[in-house]
Every structure is written in structure tokens, then in C-alpha cells.
Amino acid sequence: MNRLQGKTAIITGAARGMGAATAELFVAEGARVIIADVLTAEGEALAKTLGGNARFVQHDVTDEASWQRVLQAGIDLGGAVDVLVNNAGVLMFKTLQQTEKSDFERVLSVNLTGSFLGVRSIGAHMLERGRGSIVNISSVDGMKAANGLGAYCSSKWGIRGLTKVAAMEYGHKGVRVNSVHPGGVDTAMGNPYAEDKAAVNQRYQMVPMQRVGEPNEVAQTSLFLASDESSYLCGAEITVDGGMTTGFYYVGFPGAPGVE
């Protein structure tokens, strides 16, 4: 219940999906939370349901000046900022040949430059205090390739690299930086056609756990990284993917589901 007692967190892209699940969990664990997102109505509604320990701030992660407003909101709410979850992201399905320069730059701008701006601006505040935890939400697509996701994969591999450099430059100053790599998760991004669970799970039959993930299952990992329980993790990458990056089943062969 109190794993984040006394801590203040900024979570980007927290108006819905995994970010919202993370905000709910963090507040339940005693944190004060800034819900930062471009979606004002959803963000304000969520903050209202979470009560006095949550506040919504309209924030575009690509806008450098806006990061100072978010930082100030965190300081106003909790006195200082202890945790940043760089979660905001966009997905785009286009082959490399279909991807215009502007498409590529848009995805990189939100996913990678947005995370960099958070690591730099909120990171500066944490470095001044000599403590803090930054959780960068990458993806399994930051560890492998995926057809149709050239810009997205590039951004998520970039987040993984950014995390490693930040871990080196910040770790010895008391600020831990780690990345989380979700597999398929049942959100507007992971389930864009809003299919029912059985239909979505069908898409994951070659993955060891044979189902889509839930937003809260990723939030639990961010909670661990945000809390002092992960005090010796710095530069780590944690997959929350039901085994997707471990391997795919050779369907019908020994050891696959239903075959002894």
C-alpha cells in the first residue's frame, strides 16, 4: 500500500492506457502524481477520480518549455520530484518505403526526443537533489525488429540507448535510470481495433504466455523501478512481454502448447 509513500512522480502520456494505470497504481501506493498529457479531458477526468494526490497538467513532451511547467507542478504538489516515467508515445504502421521524412521525424520527436527532454529537464532537478528514479518506457520493438514499424522501432531502440547513457552519467550522482520493454498490451495502441480479449489473445498464440498483457502488469514493473525496492538497478532493461522476446513457438513441434 505504501511503496511510494512520500514520493512525487511525473508520468507522461498518463491520460489513458498504461500511463493511466501507472498513475492509479502510484497513487494507491502513496505517491503524489502529475498526470502529463496532451489529452486534456481524459487527463482531468482521471485526476478527479484519483483525488488530491493527483493533478493534470496539459503537456506536450516535444515542447521543451512545457517541461519546466510540469516540473514546477510537481514541486508545487509534492515539494520535489522523485520519479519520472517517460511513457508518452505514438505508433505508426508504415513500411520504410511508405514512410515520409516528416512521418519519421514525428514519431522520433514524441517517443525519443520527448524522453530525452524529460531525462534532461527533470533529470537536472533530480541531480541537484542527488536522488531520483527515471523509468523510460521503450518496447519489445526496442529489442527486436517489426515489419511496418521502422520509425517506431528506431525510436524505441533509441530510448534504450538513451537510458544506458543516462544511467552512466546520472547513476554515480544518485539518480537511477532504467527501461521497461512491454510486449503487446491491451490499450488503444496495442489493440487499435478494440477487439475482445479472445480475439486479441489469438494474435499471441506463438508467444509463451499466449495472451495480451494488461496495462496494470506493466505499471507494476514501473512501480518496482520507481520505488526504493529497486535501489541497485541502474541501466537495466526489463521485458514485460509474456515471453515474446524469449522466442516464438514452432507450432506443432515438441514442447509447443498441446504437443508433448
The nearer residue to ligand NAD, 61 or 234, going by C-beta atoms, is 61
What would the x/- binding string for ligand NAD be over residues 76 to 95, using CB under 6 A?
-----------xxxx-----
The answer to whether residue 15 forms part of the interface with ligand NAD (CB under 6 A) is yes
Rounded least distance, CB 180 to ligand NAD, Å: 8
CA dist., res. 224 & res. 244, Å (int): 21
Instruction: State the catalytic residue, choosing from 152, 204, 249, 250.
Output: 152
Rounded least distance, CB 133 to ligand NAD, Å: 18
The nearer residue to ligand NAD, 146 or 259, going by C-beta atoms, is 146
Q: Identify residue 109 by its one-letter amino acid code.
A: S
What would the x/- binding string for ligand NAD be over residues 132 to 151, using CB under 6 A?
-----x-x------------
Work out which of 28, 39, 209, 236 binds ligand NAD, going by CB under 6 A.
Answer: 39
The answer to whether residue 187 forms part of the interface with ligand NAD (CB under 6 A) is yes
The nearer residue to ligand NAD, 1 or 41, going by C-beta atoms, is 41
Work out which of 73, 166, 185, 226 binds ligand NAD, going by CB under 6 A.
Answer: 185
| Residue 250: active-site member | no
The answer to whether residue 123 forms part of the interface with ligand NAD (CB under 6 A) is no
CB distance 138 to 177 below 8 Å: no
| The three three-digit cell numbers of residue 169, written as one number | 552519467
Q: How many residues of this chain bind ligand NAD (CB under 6 A)?
A: 29
CA dist., res. 146 & res. 152, Å (int): 9
Q: Which residues are catalytic?
A: 152
Q: Rule CB under 6 A: which residues touch ligand NAD?
A: 12-13, 15-19, 37-39, 59-62, 87-90, 110, 114, 137, 139, 182, 184-185, 187-190
